[in-house]
Amino acid sequence: MTIKKHLLIVIGIVIFVIIFANSLISTTFIERLFGGYLEDSYNQRIQEISDYAKNYIQEENQSKSEIYDIDNFVGEPINQIVILDQNENILFESRRSMMTMHGNMMNMMQGQERDIFELKEDQEVIGYLIIYRVGDITSTETVDMFKRALIRGTMISGIIALLIGFFATNFSSRFLSKDLRKTSDYASNILSKDNKLIDDSKIKEIREIQDTLYNLSVRLKLKNRIRKEKADKLIHEARTPVTILRTNIEGIIDGIVEADEDRLQTCIKELENLTNIIENIDDVLEEKEEDIEVEEFNLSEEIIKIIKGMELQFNNKNIEISKNIQDNIFIKSDRGIINQSLYNLLSNAYKYTKEEGKVRITLLEKDDIIIKVEDNGEGINEKDTDKIFQPYYRGDTMTEEGEGLGLYITRSNLLKINGEISVTQSELGGAEFTIKL
Contact status, residue 190 vs residue 216, Cβ threshold 8 Å: yes
Identify which of 430, 407, 434 has the alpha carbon closest to the alpha carbon of residue 420. 434
pLDDT higher than 70, residue 157: yes
Identify which of 368, 369, 388 has the alpha carbon closest to the alpha carbon of residue 432. 388
Contacts of 375 by beta carbon, 8 Å cutoff, 6+ apart = 349, 352, 353, 357, 358, 359, 360, 426, 428, 430, 431
What is the predicted pLDDT for the residue at 343? 83
φ/ψ (deg, to 5) at 295: -150, 155
pLDDT band at 105 (very low <50, low <70, confident <90, very high): very low
- Whole-number Å distance between alpha carbons of 37 and 137: 11
pLDDT higher than 60, residue 306: yes
pLDDT band at 108 (very low <50, low <70, confident <90, very high): very low
Most confident of 10-14, 161-165, 282-286, 422-426: 422-426
Which pLDDT tens digit goes with each residue over 383-427? 777 778 877 666 655 555 555 667 887 888 899 899 999 999 988
pLDDT band at 190 (very low <50, low <70, confident <90, very high): low
**Mean pLDDT (whole number) for 308-317:** 78
What is the predicted pLDDT for the residue at 375? 92
Query: What does 150-192 look like in DSSP terms, one character per residue?
Result: HHHHHHHHHHHHHHHHHHHHHHHHHHHHHHHHHHHHHHHTTT-
What is the predicted pLDDT for the residue at 107? 46
φ/ψ (deg, to 5) at 324: -135, 80
- Whole-number Å distance between alpha carbons of 61 and 46: 23
φ/ψ (deg, to 5) at 305: -65, -45
- Whole-number Å distance between alpha carbons of 203 and 343: 42
What is the predicted pLDDT for the residue at 392? 67
Contact status, residue 281 vs residue 314, Cβ threshold 8 Å: no
| Alpha helices (H) in 353-388, listed in sequence order | none
Q: Which amino acid is at 200?
A: D
Instruction: Tell which wins on pLDDT, 62 or 373.
Output: 373
Instruction: Tell which wins on pLDDT, 317 or 186.
Output: 317
Report which secondary-structure segment, H or E, holds 437: none
pLDDT higher than 70, residue 64: no
| Alpha helices (H) in 59-90, listed in sequence order | 64-71
Contact status, residue 397 vs residue 409, Cβ threshold 8 Å: no
**Domains, the chain, ordered by start:** 3-156 (3.30.450), 204-285 (1.10.287.130), 294-436 (3.30.565.10)
What is the predicted pLDDT for the residue at 331? 93
Which pLDDT tens digit goes with each residue over 16-49? 777 777 777 766 766 677 777 778 888 888 888 8
Contacts of 263 by beta carbon, 8 Å cutoff, 6+ apart = 248, 252, 257
**Mean pLDDT (whole number) for 373-379:** 88
pLDDT higher than 90, residue 370: yes
